[in-house]
Each structure stands twice: as structure tokens, then as C-alpha cells.
Structure 1
Amino acid sequence: MAENRRGGKRAGAGRPKGQQNKATREQKASLQELARNHTSVALGALVKVATDGESESARVAAANALLDRAYGKPSQSVQHSGAIGSYDLTKVSDADLDRLEAILGPLADAGGDPGGAET
């Protein structure tokens, strides 16, 4: 009986896991390009709302959006002392803190959590 070469699961067939399909990549690139073509219009609208907006909350939101785009979002520093679960931070040695800083420092320098969580 002849082997059927159509259909079924084949090793190596299909798009590699985690890779966007070609159409999605192209659409995303073209959408970004279109949006960038209207940057001056969008910034102009933000400036208009920031200066002439009818409500104070709209003016503040537009001003914050302009500042975020000009200087980036401000980093938020969080200081914690005490216990986290079974870990008492007041009893952590300086050497342990230095090791943690060496591990976590590059993450903070890179702009935060790559998973998207704000710090």
C-alpha cells in the first residue's frame, strides 16, 4: 500500500513556536509607520488640550502625556522594611543586600520589569 503524503502531523511543519505570522508582522509595522506619520498632529492635539481644555483633569492628563513622551515616565521608588512572608528584611546582612543589588540592579537600570509590571 502506498504511503499517503498528505495531511497529518509532520515533524518541523508549521510556523515555529512564539514567532508571529508574516501578515501580523507586516500589519504591525505598517500600523506603526502610519501612527508615526501623525505624531505632530497628535502632539498638537495634546498641547491644545493641555492649554485650552475645558476641564482641569483633561488639561492635567494631556500635560502628563506630553511630559511622559518628552522625558519618559518617572521611576517610582519603593522602600520596604519589616517582614515579607517568613523573611525579616531587618535581619538581612549587608553582603546579602549587595548580592541582591547585583542581581536586581540591571533590571532596574533596564527600565523595570520586562513582563510589563510597573515598579
Structure 2
Amino acid sequence: MTDPGDSDARGEGRELEVDAELVRAYEDGATITELAARFGMTYYKARASLITAGVELRQVGPTTPSAPPGLVEAYLGGANIHDVAKRFGLSFGVARRMLLQNGVRLRPKGGGPKDGDRS
């Protein structure tokens, strides 16, 4: 007979095994969606299990690649984002994100104050 306090009687032993496998699979590159399907749980349960296990979750969605050499310098040298994007064959949004990821403080739209606007 199994003691009511035994973790196997409540299924916790198997739950710990699943959690360990879940963490290992996630750290090996599986997505939360893939893990949910593999382990027969919802996306939210798989995500919650990873968080409870102390796993740092990866960024969701596509990541912006590193800025090509010269992009940041071109912007800091006075080119606007549209010009930089065109020069490097990028969309405006990708060029902007690359600049931000490199810690560049973007100029206000229009390039800054006009001669008569300095207060």
C-alpha cells in the first residue's frame, strides 16, 4: 500500500521528471509551443512550468541582426534613418532597431531645431 504522503501517489514524482525534461528540451532549443505539444499540456502550462523552474525565457519573435559595419557611423555622421536604410539595403524599421540596439540616441524627426528655433 502506498502512503498518502508519498509523492509518487500524488503524481509529483512524474511531474518533476516532466519538468526536468521540459527544461532540458527548452534549453536545447525547443520552443514553448513544441514543448506543449510534446508533453501534452497547454502553451501556458508549459510556459508556467519553465518559469517556476527558474528558466530565463528567450525573446519572443524575430530578432534584429547586428548592424552592418558603418551603419551607426553613417547615422552619427548626419545621415537620416531613411538614407542609412537605403544605403545598407534595409527597411526603415530594421535600420532604426539596429541603431537603438547599438545605444544610439535618435535625433528628433526633421533633424533637430531649425536656425530660428533655438531658444
Normalising by the smaller structure, the TM-score range is under 0.3
Q: Which has the higher contact order (CA 8 A, sep 6+)?
A: 2
